[in-house]
Amino acid sequence: MKEVVFSQYVEKDKLIEKLLKNGIVILDSNSLLNAYIYDNFDRKKYFEILEILKNRLMLTNLSAQEFYTNRLKLISNKARVKETLKSEVEFAIDKLIVSINTGDFNGRKQAINSFIKYEGRLQESIQEILNNTKLELEHIIDSHTIDIDDNYMEKDTVLDKMQKLFDDRVSEEFTKDYLAELFEEGQKRYETKMPPGYMDSARPEGERYRDLIIWNEIITIGQSTHMDVLFVSDDRNEDWCDTLNGMELGPRNELIKEFYDSTRHLYYSVSTENFIKHSARIFNIEDTESLQRQSRIIGKEMSSSK
């Protein structure tokens, strides 16, 4: 086992390549939901990668449930991006115009800035520029194309593609009796900070053991398929990953060992960004730089919000 763990850290890129070429690839719900956030070009690139891996893709049952539940909120939010952004831009500029006209400023230099109310020509020039800027920004926002709108509630092409990719590739749902045992085990694990999921220990029970359920579903998939597993998730917090000085080193050693002890196979995990980066290199997929960049931004927001 020492050799197995050691090789995973020293030859990380080789291991990821091995798993992408021959292992089961399990996507967390957060990685799936990224498809609703990407623009049309990046989304096509993402599905291009998933299509290559379709015969070895799998979902845990809980991730599938979370995907179905959370997709509607993302659709609604994205459909309202333009109108919300226009409203925020108008509010910010109108507020600034009022401050320019009245000399009503806050902050350390309030007394100095307030003198602008005595500078009529300067006020008029700034107000004209701000009004023109507002119109220009509104035009830019209006002309930008966002391909996901409220129609996706009824005709969701992202969902259609996901259903085709993961048809018969979702693990079985755990029984209530099994979950009760798992939650009891989870309480003991969390007390000793045994990964994953202990960072959620203060949450309600339905959310508290989410990561532990996912983890046990991953192990079950490894046992049933008799294959190595690569888990793609943007949850890169310490109860999933080892870190040093803010730098992620890879999955927790305890998880690698537990998976191997339970399945006699290898486990590794990567962020969506690194999944895309390695897949693009291995399968010769071009023009994924924007997709990687967007995935990095989404991933950072995901980890910081947990």
pLDDT confidence of 15, banded at 50, 70, 90?
very high
DSSP state of 200: G
pLDDT of residue 114: 63
| Token reading at 15 | 């291991």
CB 146 within 8 A of CB 78: yes
pLDDT of residue 151: 80
Which pLDDT score is estimated for 5? Answer: 57
DSSP 56: G
This prediction has a pTM of: 0.86
Q: Which of 81, 6, 1, 3 is nearest to 36 (CA)?
A: 81
159-185 confidence digits (pLDDT tens): 999 999 999 999 999 999 999 999 999
pLDDT of 306 higher than 70: no
State yes or no: pLDDT of 99 exceeds 90.
no
Q: Answer for the pair 250, 9: CB distance below 8 angstroms, yes or no.
A: yes
Classify strands 24-27 and 229-232 as parallel, antiparallel or unpaired.
parallel
Judge whether 291 and 46 are in contact, CB under 8 Å.
yes
Q: What is the pLDDT of residue 247?
A: 80
**Is the Cβ–Cβ distance between 202 and 231 less than 8 Å?**
no
pLDDT per residue as tens digits for the range 220-270: 999 999 999 999 999 999 999 988 887 888 999 999 999 999 999 999 999
CA–CA dist 305, 198 (Å, integer): 16
Averaged confidence pLDDT in the chain: 89
> How far apart (Å, rounded) are the C-alpha atoms in residues 106 and 132?
25
pLDDT at position 279 over 80:
yes
* Contact assessment for residue 256 and residue 231, using Cβ atoms and an 8 Å cutoff: no
Placement of tokens 């799998």 in the chain = 58
Q: Which residues of 236-262 are buried (b: 16+ CB within 10 A; e: fewer)?
A: bbebbbbeeeeebebbbeebbebbbee
Give pLDDT, residue 206.
Answer: 75
β-bridge mates for residue 59, sequence order: 170
Tell me the percentage of the chain whose pLDDT exceeds 90: 64
What average pLDDT does this structure show over 1-27?
80
Q: Does position 13 have pLDDT exceeding 60, yes or no?
A: yes
Centre a 10 Å sphere on the Cβ of residue 44 and count the other Cβ atoms it contains. Answer: 12
In this prediction, residue 8 carries a pLDDT of: 55
**With 70 as the cut, is the pLDDT of residue 101 above it?**
yes
Check residue 169 and report its DSSP letter. -
pLDDT score of 12: 87
Q: How far apart are CA 306 and CA 302, in angstroms?
A: 7
- The DSSP secondary-structure symbol of 170 reads B
